[in-house]
Structure 1
Amino acid sequence: MGDHADSRARGLGVSTKVLSLGGLCLLLQQIPVSYRIDFFGQLADASLIHLHAGLLLAIAMLERDRRVVAGCFLVTFAGWTLRQLSFDDWQPGPVLAWGAASYAFTFGWSLLCAHWTGWPRGECQRVQRRDLIRFAAIALLLYPLVLALVGFSITVVSTSTAAISTAFQMFFAKQFGVAVMTLPLVVAWRERGHPAPRMDAASHWLWPIALGAGLAASVWAAVLVRRAFNTGLAAPELVLMDYRFALLLVLGWGMLRLSSRWAMAALSLTLLLLVGMVAGTAEYANSAVGFFNLLHITLEVNILLLAMMYLWLTHRDRYELAERLSAETLRDQITGLPNLKALRERVARPLTRTELGYLLLDQTDTLVAGFGLDTQAQAMNAVARRLEDLVETYYVGTGQFALLPKPGGDPDLWERVMARVEHAEIDVGGQPIRLLPYLGVAAFNGTQASVVDNAVVTASHLAFEARHHGELRPRYSDVGDTQVRRTHRRQLHDATEALASLRNERVVLYFQPIRDLAPTGDADPRALSGEVLCRLLDERGEIMSPARFMAPLEAAGRGAELDLAVVRALFRLLRKSPSALPHCREIAINLTGQSLASMSFQVELRTLLAGSPLPMSALCFEVTETAAISNTAAASHLLADLRALGCRIAIDDFGTGMQSFARLRELPVDVIKIDGSFVRNVAQLGKDYAVVQASVAVAKAFGAATVAEFVEDEDTEYCLRRIGVQRVQGYLYGAPRPLVEVLAETAAEPAASGE
């Protein structure tokens, strides 16, 4: 039942097309460009153009259903038959049979020529510039030439003179019909639904000047032609109208400025006007000069068609390429999401709420390291889709978005954005993950790019501040914004200056001793045991404290570069003091979490250790307990290798982070350094005392030695001795001093005692 209904619907559609298109062909048959032709004394009235022939070829090129094409030819033949019968007093004759055969051949020939030109095509395919060559060769030349030969076959029912006249008429009539109708109609039909190409507004003023110049040139040419033919006799007809240069300019303007429908209509009407104006010239075609003159006019019309069509197609392709490139610049190349340029263009249009949010997703860089760019792009798109009903998202960088509110007066919009992201599980590699969001919100007033950029910068600073403080609520702009921006600029400057110091080897090492609480009787009184502390020199030669350069360097991902610079500087100083080397009992060196996760650092460190001036047993590497180690397996492997070489491994600042016991299980540990924030108040026997006591118990359970930091008075030392802490470090035993001085004193002590 359903198939039958579909079949009836398709049949009705075919009938409708045949009636409408066939009726249009019949109408075009009635629009002649009349002229009177004289072949060998045989006069005949004829039309210089068969518009219906051009329409039939266009239908053959566009319509995939051959029943429609056949129906249109049949309707057109029916119209020709009625007109022929009216000429023959309604008496069927041999000409009628010849006409039926020629129409049948024309139907097949039209389908074949359409196929050779590459038509019909899919609905999405359009006319391209390369199609013009095939169209010129097949549709404008071969198609009418073969139909003219078919017209010559009328000799079987008429005289040879009539056959020559018919062939002549058919060639030019079919050729002009195709030139005027076919290609403009195909282009107009295929371009429907596509935006019209536009010219730049800056070039509008050029057209009046160009049109005026063209008109002046055409008038000048017309005057010259009329003077040449002004011999006192009647002036002969001109080949083309006098002002064709101006017409050419007007037509070119239409190709560039009008939509596809109106541009193609203007082209067809212009060509039809040209054909109409040369109809008088066709009456001289019985002579050789007149015939070649008509061929020359035909060539000019075809050149005009192809030139205008090439101009229009070139302008269309250039416009679409520019639009496509412009659209691509508005999107991130990896994620496909709108970018900051798109945000600037969006702000130029009216907004219901002049606020801008900056969303920062933590740990998104690990997605790239662990899963690749494609997975990171999927995660970013998933976040954008989750927020699409609340805000417009604009991608700034890895895990960073600028957000514009969508229309609506939701006062809790930004809190909802945070909750939506925080509670979302994103599938990454088949595993659900959560991304921790931080959000800064800034208001702005204006549509200029500088205003938008300032709002983005302000909101981004607030988002990064929120991440720094672990704040999972939106941060809003206030009077403190200037201070926030100043802080970030200072941090950026410090990071840049610290990198310059590292690469210029402006590294100064300090040394703070570590003492045993229960020294043995045979201990070397000149033994060096302590921690190496790093300082950097700025361009003015002034010391930069770790508070100025550590956080910026780690934020810039240069922690490994800093650690390698410290090891190089240490070994360089030790080689310069060979007499102090036997007294170096234990030298502790700090390592950042970035170094532990870096394979290039591990390779470089092993190379440096191979040339160490100290035995491996004299080296201790300290890992800060709060260090962000993104690859625990790689860190464990490196520390295990160092331990196998004879080095000792210490956890620094133990107790300050949330991963203390997890680190003890994951990493090989020989020493636990109890953070000084607990040691300072241990003598008060409060909570800090309990923490230190618990730390000592944990160290014993794991077989590790304990070191207490920040020991500044004897009461603290006494309390630590009672708890069972083995070693101590702090100002009670010595402030940090330049390592070069410590090594010099150690090397000079034997000479002083000898005197």
Structure 2
Amino acid sequence: MISGRDSDGRSAGPPPEDKTPSENSERIELLPEAEGLDLVSILSSVEETAYVWDLRTGRVDWESNAPEILDVSDLSQISTGAAYHALIAPEHLNVRLQAFSRSVGADNLRGVPYRIQYRLRPGGLRSGKEVRLEDQGRWWPGPDGHPQLARGVVRIVDDQYLEQQRLLVRNDLDELTGQLNRIRLTQALGTVLSRTERDRRSCAFLMISVNNLAVINETFGLEVGDEVIAEVGRRIRAKLRGGDVIGRYSANKFGIILMNCGARAAETAAERFIEAVRDTTIKTTAAQLSATISLGGVIIPDQANSVQDTVNFALRTLDIAKSKRFDCFVLYEPSPAGDGARVRNKTIAEGVVSALDENRMRLMLQPMIATRSGKAEIYEALLRMERHDGSLVSAGEFVPIAEQLGLSRLIDRRTLELTVDLLMKHSDLVVSVNVSGLTCTDKEWLLTLHRLTAGQPDVLGRMIVEITETVALQEIDQSVTFVDTLRELGCRVAIDDFGAGYTSFKNLKLLNVDMVKIDGAFVKNVADDKSDQIFVKTMIDLAKSFGVETVAEWVGDERSANYLIDAGVTYMQGYYYGQPFDSSDYVKAA
């Protein structure tokens, strides 16, 4: 047999219902031998062979290299379907038989595709010889709709090949839904963006969210929630056109790339997806459930010309859709104000990352004056970002954006490195340093602290770690653990902006801190505002009752300082006692 032909040299293509395979075959014109195309040699080089199987007669015609590839003594051992099946491992035989029993009544012209793997024992079922095969091809039905003819290719597969296949699936597809994972989805989006800009054709990118998944997870469990996600993904995929792409972006979100699609077509497609999910209940192991979806979309490249912008705009419009009502689709509309803020945030984030990479973060020190001595006994470390031109940016301008973008841990670790280095250089220096809310749950920060200080009690004892009151109260259990761990290491702990959370009195007892810093909003007018005076005096007295020291922030004039001294505050900090200065200018106090 020549690959793609019956033994008599005729094509093994699909037959019409009133003719046999050989009667309906058409000759295939092979390239002249002079062209050097030796199909048998090519198949052998990749450990493959080919066959044509007449299921009515049982006859199987193999390519001439089949004995070599399958390790059988001669073709008579595998010349019929029954003989070949007798060599397939019993646990795998049904796998091959079922491949020819599905899709009865399928397309007579194109046939039914199959791709299966099984083990073959060329020396018989009792022999120790075994090969693992991948069998891929198509079968065509006869007049009764059942398989009449099959032709395919068999290849040897080894452990390396199987591992490559597993890696391909794992790297490309989401495990739950079988759709593209987030990485491959965004890569596909990048490719489509390049093509649309080149071909000047519009496409749409939709972000889809399952609305009621949180309720389903809470009521029936995460397993049932996963069933809903998988079914929603299947329904949406079934409504895609050829060439469209779907992937799972996150837990309950899908991303869809609609090829050659404008605004109106995107709205039509969105309604199609909404109906597919809404109109029929979803059968799960727990119950018949209903699900709804919301969608946000953006037209590319008209409204976005980068992957980041496309995804961000789609997520933004998805949030708008979810806030309006269920079963809602919102198409992105440019907003000059929003786009300006986005560009500014992006610039800030890029500046922060660049400054961290290039060691352009600087520590400034602001003194805390002890009321008992009138001297600076503690200095608060304030972070500044140095621009390329040497100018400094205060933390208030970049830290809030950095926190929103998940950069606060990187900032806190760099601040920690600078602080420890400073404490190592100056044995008399006591430094108070702020950390973000995320750091309160960051075990790596604590490990870094211990590593940088080498566990030296002298260094750790001269560090005060500040956490804001609002953060401490949001995650009170984690904050208690964080505070206790720091104090075990030898550090002191302060609550910053004390009083801003309005629940300070109830929760102060839970946090075993050493110091509270009274929010400057209550201090700046304390010399004249009676209500601020009462509030500040109450907080100072309360802190004293717990054996906790106090710091008054934003002290700006002598009258305020005198009131605070009379009220019993422990430390004062503000421009009245000095503005922040570069830590490199610190000199040992006399």
Whether contact under 8 Å (1:440, 1:461) holds in the other structure is no
Question: Structure 1 residues 621, 113: CA separation in 2 closer, same or farther (over 3 Å shift)?
Answer: closer
Asked whether the 8 Å contact 2:513–2:548 carries over to 1, the reply is yes
SS at structure 2 position matched to 1:498: helix
* 1:386-405 → structure 2 map (5 Å cutoff): 395-397=248-250, 400-402=253-255
* Equivalent position amino acid for 1:677 in 2: A
Of 569, 578, 581 in structure 1, the residue corresponding to residue 418 of structure 2 is 569
How does 1:404-553 map onto structure 2 within 5 Å?
441=296, 444=299, 456-461=311-316, 481-516=335-370, 519-520=371-372, 523=373, 526-553=375-402
CA shift in 2, pair 1:492/1:645, >3 Å: same
Please tell me whether the aligned partners of residues 356 and 442 of structure 1 are also in contact (alpha carbons under 8 angstroms). yes
Partner of 2:449: 605
Cα deviation per residue 1:402-422 (whole Å; 9 max; x = unaligned)?
Answer: 588787989xx9xxx9xxxxx
SS at 1:732 equivalent: coil
Task: Say which of 140, 147, 161 aligns to 1:260.
Answer: 140
**Which is higher, the Rg of structure 1 or of structure 2?**
1
TM-superposition CA deviations, 1:111-146 (whole Å, max 9, x none): x97643428998874599xxxxxxxxxxxxxxxxxx
The answer to whether the 8 Å contact 2:314/2:332 transfers is: no
Contact 2:423 2:459 in 1 (8 A): no
Letter aligned with residue 454 of structure 2: A
**Equivalent position SS for 1:600:** helix
Q: CA shift at 1:688, angstroms?
A: 5.4
Closer, same or farther in 2 for the Cα pair 1:313/1:643, shift >3 Å?
A: closer
User: Contact (CA 8 Å) 1:515, 1:529: kept in 2 or not?
Assistant: yes
In 2: Cα distance, 1:672 partner to 1:626 partner: 13
Call closer, same or farther: CA 1:705–1:327 in 2, change over 3 Å: closer
Q: 1:259 & 1:728 partners in 2: Cα distance? A: 86
Instruction: Report the alpha carbon displacement of residue 643 of structure 1 after superposing the two structures with TM.
Output: 1.8
Which among 724, 728, 731 is matched to residue 572 of structure 2?
Answer: 728
Q: Please state how far the C-alpha of 1:590 moved relative to its aligned partner.
A: 1.4
Whole-Å Cα distance in 2 between the matches of residues 504 and 655 of structure 1? 38
Report the counterpart of residue 493 of structure 2 in structure 1: 649
Structure 1 residue 534: Cα displacement:
1.1
Q: Distance in 1 between matches of 2:575 and 2:416?
A: 25
Counterpart contact for 1:510–1:737, Cα < 8 Å: yes
Q: Which residue number corresponds to residue 259 of structure 2?
A: none
Aligned with residue 174 of structure 2, among 310, 314, 332: 332
Q: Retained in 2: the 8 A contact 1:188–1:261? A: no
Task: Please give the TM-score of this superposition, normalised by the length of structure 1.
Answer: 0.44
Question: 1:40-119 counterparts in 2 under 5 A?
Answer: 58=56, 115-118=82-85
Alignment partners' CA distance in 1, 2:563 and 2:82: 100
Letter in 2 for 1:542: S
Q: Tell me which of 193, 204, 212 is aligned to 2:106.
A: 193
Q: Is the 8 A contact 1:358 1:440 kept in 2?
A: yes
Whole-angstrom CA distance in 2 between matches of 1:659 and 1:544: 33
Residue 531 of structure 1 deviates from its aligned partner by 0.8
CA deviation after TM superposition for structure 1 residue 477, in Å: 7.1
Larger helix share, 1 or 2: 1
Once the two structures are TM-superposed, the CA of residue 662 in structure 1 deviates from its matched residue by: 7.4
Q: CA deviation at 1:651?
A: 1.0
Counterpart amino acid of residue 504 in structure 1: E
* CA distance in structure 1 between the partners assigned to 2:375 and 2:388 by the alignment: 36
Give the CA RMSD over aligned residues: 6.1
Q: 1:560 to 1:329 in 2, by over 3 A?
A: closer
Q: Which residue of 2 aligns with 1:589?
A: 433
Distance 1:386 1:333 in 2: 15
The CA distance in 1 between the partners of 2:109 and 2:534, in whole Å, is 79
Structure 2 counterpart of 1:116, one-letter code: A
Post-superposition CA distance 1:608-639 (Å, at most 9, x none): 23376955443211112234899866654453
Give deviations 1:438-464, integer Å, cap 9, x for gaps. 989456499999699866432324668
Aligned to 1:539, what secondary structure does the other structure show? coil
> Residue 50 of structure 1 aligns with which residue?
none
Structure with greater proportional strand content: 2
The CA deviation at 1:564 is 3.3
Q: Deviations over 1:663-685 (max 9, x none)?
A: 63553211111222333344564
Hey, what's the Cα distance between the residues in 2 that align with 1:502 and 1:480?
A: 32
Determine the C-alpha separation between the residues in 2 that align with 1:126 and 1:737.
81
Distance 1:329 1:698, change over 3 A: same
Partner residue of 2:521?
677
Q: How many residues are paired up?
A: 432
The Cα offsets for residues 323-357 of structure 1, whole Å up to 9 and x where unpaired, read as x9999999534554566589999xx9xxxxx9955
Q: 2:208, 2:270 → 1: CA distance?
A: 19
Counterpart in the other structure of 2:468: 624
Q: CA deviation at 1:650?
A: 0.4
Q: Aligned in 2, Cα 1:359/1:494: closer, same or farther, shift over 3 Å?
A: farther
- TM-aligned CA deviation for residue 533 of structure 1: 0.6
Identity over aligned pairs, percent: 24
Partner of 1:156: none
Distance 2:81 2:231 in 1: 47
The C-alpha deviation readout for 1:187-223, integer Å capped at 9, x for no partner, is 799874379659xxxxxxxxxxxxxxxxxxxxxxxxx
Shift of 1:588: 0.8
Separation of aligned partners in 2, 1:197 and 1:325: 31
Query: Aligned partners of 2:452 and 2:306: how far apart in 1?
Result: 51
Partner SS state of residue 448, structure 2:
helix
Preserved contact between residue 616 and residue 647 of structure 1 (Cα < 8 Å): yes
Q: Displacement of 1:692 after TM fit?
A: 4.1
- Deviation of 1:605 after TM superposition, in Å, equals 0.5
The code of the aligned residue for 1:495 comes to A
SS at match of 1:58: coil
Give the TM-score normalised by structure 2.
0.54
Distance 1:732 1:544 in 2: 22
3-state SS, counterpart of residue 508 of structure 2: helix
1: CA distance, partners of 2:411 / 2:574: 24
**CA distance 1:498–1:443, shift in 2 (3 Å):** closer
Q: Is the 8 A contact 1:509 1:739 kept in 2?
A: yes
In the alignment, the residues of structure 2 paired with residue 618 and residue 262 of structure 1 have an alpha-carbon distance, to the nearest angstrom, of: 87
* CA distance 1:693–1:385, shift in 2 (3 Å): farther
Distance 1:188 1:382 in 2: 30
SS in 2 for 1:260: strand
Equivalent in the alignment of 1:45: none
Unaligned runs of 5+ in 1: 1-23, 32-54, 62-111, 129-186, 199-255, 269-304, 316-323, 349-353, 368-374, 418-426, 431-437, 751-755
**Alpha carbons 2:409, 2:439 under 8 Å: kept:** yes
Distance 2:457 2:305 in 1: 57
Work out whether 1:667 is the aligned partner of 2:511.
Answer: yes
- 1:740 aligns to what SS in structure 2? helix
User: 2:543 matched to 1:699?
Assistant: yes
Partners of 1:652 and 1:401 in 2: how far apart?
Answer: 41
Would the aligned equivalents of 2:469 and 2:495 in 1 still touch at CA under 8 Å?
yes
Distance 1:380 1:328 in 2: 18
* 1:508 Cα offset (Å): 1.5
